[in-house]
Amino acid sequence: MIDIPTSLGAFSGRVMSTQTGTDPIGRLIPVVRKYWGFDTLRPLQAEAMTAVLEGRDSVVVLPTGGGKSLCFQVPAVTFTGVAIVVSPLLSLMKDQTDALQQCGIAAACLSSMQTSREQQEVIRQLDQGQLKLLYLAPERLTTARFTDLLQRLKPSFFAVDEAHCISSWGHEFRPDYRRLSMLRKMFPKTSIHAFTATATRRVRVDIAEHLALRNPEFHIGLFDRPNLTYRVERKRKKWEQICSVIEQHKGESGIIYCISRKNVEDLAASLREVGYKALPYHAGLDDSVRKRNQDAFLRETVDIIVATVAFGMGIDKSNVRYVLHAAAPKSIENYQQEAGRAGRDGLPADCVLLWGPGDFGMWRRIFGDMPPDAAPAAMQKLSQMSRYCESMTCRHQALVKYFGQSLDKRNCRACDVCLSAPEPVDDSQIIAQKILSCVVRLDEQHDAEYLEHVLVGSHDGPTLASGHESLSTFGILKEHDRRSVRDWIVQLRSDGYLQTDDGDSALSVTPAGWLVLRGNDDPELVNPRRAVRRLTIAHPAAESGAEEQLFEELRKLRKSVADDRNVPAFVIFSDAALLDMARKRPATLEQFLRVNGVGEKKCSEFGPKFIKCIAEWCHAHSVPSNDGMSSETGAPQGIRIPPKPTTSGAELEAYKLFDRGVSLEDVASNVKRAKSTVVRYLEDYLRSNQKGSPEPWVTAELHTKILESVERVGGDRLRPLFDDLDGAADYDQIRISLACLKDGATDTD
């Protein structure tokens, strides 16, 4: 039995610097800079890459967006031979090889989607040693004809992507993955590395054993995705709830998941009828239709893909801004994987789950067709998913806890539970005792809906059994509305005071519930959560209107370039790279190379077009083109960004006008600078003079609101403050107020 260390690596969504030196990872930093345009590695990437470099087998579990592909792609570039990557989906292979080729890396795939001539060309490149990475499906890799070729090539290492597919305890088991165990026998000296985004401890052990890994290293990242905001809602007005999410992200890429093919077809058609660009995707569609719809989504000719679970595993689209589940998924592993397709670029994204009791009934019927030995595990996972939906605990905490981890922070400020601040119920114990007592008096034979109607004394629900109207608990909570009673029943079940058996919806009292009935425990019930109206803004990482406008222009250019090259838009540049361009506004190729995500090949090929676009936009809007390049944050190694020059004449003139309380618009007109530049002058003015009040540029009343928001949100990041203020202040007003808080300069207690 393989032993997994208990120590875990951390993944926080932030990057960490890795210095060059004598350690093996040192030689990779210039490679990352040259081809991918980054100067830093995310947590655990360095450790995972080192294992590959030194030929030690490994299992790497990093959340979607954690950069697991780089863990094998970067070392592959440094080896003389070719690295073999096992991938389960043809579309994923194509996307990843396209992206690598755009970075200037010799990569290819062999698949049934290629013509005979295309396959022969790949074989020729392999024979001549021209490739660094080759992507294959497990079915092809294990054929005798191809293993003979591999024996001749002597691969540098094997990377098994989406490795959870090898485990019958995982959520997407594929028998073809089990045959990969032959790699160890055929290549006893070649290292094998398994990569996945979701794997419980049991699945990780299964992966290592079935691949016959030798003393593997386990690098397990934190499963939390801090850039995702989770929202779980019971389905009440499903159509309105779905449209509300889409409207919040109009024009942005989103995935909507349904359980059945019919649900997919119906919803996609309904969305198109009201003007949304949506297409269906499920296994029942013809292969050509499915591929055409997926390509339309990847290339941004449609915004929305409505799909079953058949869509998405490994889809390498980085700029999905929301994932909406129109029904509950069948397991938490599935949910983590599917919701994780949002925000792969590290920018904020929304994950909304709409659920109802009928969803779980539908899954139970589907599980009825499963082999008898597989059904119990599926039912157990479904029950865990049900408890997640009903839970009143932080969504981020609940998800990482499922995978055996925990979070330090008590309030994530990025889920419906933490953002809605539920209010405790007075007399929680008495209310809980009334509910539990009613369950007992109903002989533990009825479901939550029936219980709810008995408790409120309602006759408009299920037909009551004989004698139940005369129960002492009939109408015992009639002074409360039904929604509150329903939520309290859900909370008691979620907290372990009530339970249902797998396959049966009848509620029964647990041992913990009997403690409550005897007065030996006091559960904490809360009132129904207030609806969270909006969790992100249209372009959540843009910190000014100017950034957002330029970002949109760059998106249009990116799509045009991608269409010309017949590749998905995100293969050219990620949303994060475009946002960095909009902030830095580079005016030269040297400056363009400083944008995060711009390597040498992309700088050479795309730099002139994007620099021209930025320059034209800046000229039209009277904004300095390289205004954002003065900060050294993110500067590539070997390129020194000059320090900020001494105060200019325009800034000194602005200071004089600030002394007189002149408005920002008039100052901009007098010094002939853009308003955004004048705001920055004002920030420096307030800090250098240790001003405690931002008046007259921000009123005392608004400044107080901003201070209160700082207390609620914590820290001084603009986007969370903007969201918390809900439109009461714009970004410039927030910046100006924050300038008065630096170094403790404030006149408020």
Q: Determine the 3-state secondary structure of 103 from DSSP.
A: coil
Rounded mean pLDDT, 278-303: 89
3-class secondary structure, 64: coil
Question: What would the DSSP string read from start to end of 249-305?
Answer: TTTSEEEEE-SSHHHHHHHHHHHHHTT--EEEE-TTS-HHHHHHHHHHHHTTSSSEE
pLDDT of residue 672: 78
Kindly tell me if the per-residue pLDDT of 277 is higher than 90.
yes
- How many Cα atoms occupy the beta-carbon half-sphere of 665 within 13 Å? 0
Q: Is residue 189 classed as helix, strand or coil in its secondary structure?
A: coil
**Mean pLDDT across the stretch 146-151?**
83
Q: What is the mean pLDDT of the chain?
A: 82
Q: Which domains does the chain have, with CATH numbers?
A: 16-220 (3.40.50.300), 228-420 (3.40.50.300), 428-517 (1.10.10.10), 545-629 (1.10.150.80), 649-744 (no CATH)
Per-residue pLDDT, 335 = 92
Instruction: Please report, as a single letter, which amino acid is at residue 436.
Output: L
Q: What is the pLDDT of residue 103?
A: 92
What pLDDT digit, counting tens, does each position of 28-53 carry?
888 999 999 888 887 788 899 999 99
Q: Cβ contacts of residue 88 below 8 Å, gap of 6+?
A: 137, 138, 161, 162, 165, 172, 174, 177, 313, 314
What is the pLDDT, as a whole number, of residue 529? 58
Helix (H) or strand (E) holding 353: strand 349-355
Provide the pLDDT confidence category of residue 630 given band limits of 50, 70 and 90: very low
Q: Helix-strand-coil percent breakdown of the chain, rounded to 5?
A: 50, 10, 45
Least confident of 156-165, 428-437, 442-451, 522-531: 522-531
Residue 272's pLDDT is what? 94
Mean pLDDT in residue range 545-560: 86
Tens-place pLDDT, residues 658-683: 888 888 888 888 877 777 778 878 88
Are β-strands 228-234 and 498-499 bridged in parallel, bridged antiparallel, or unpaired?
A: unpaired
Could you give the percent of the chain with pLDDT greater than 70? 86
Q: Supply the pLDDT for residue 643.
A: 32
Separation CA 255–CA 310 (nearest Å): 12
Q: Helix and strand tally (H, E) in the chain? A: 33, 17
What pLDDT score does 671 carry?
79
Model confidence pLDDT, tens digit, residues 222-253:
888 889 999 999 998 899 999 999 998 988 99
Is the pLDDT assigned to residue 642 strictly greater than 70?
no
Q: What percent of the chain has pLDDT over 90?
A: 30
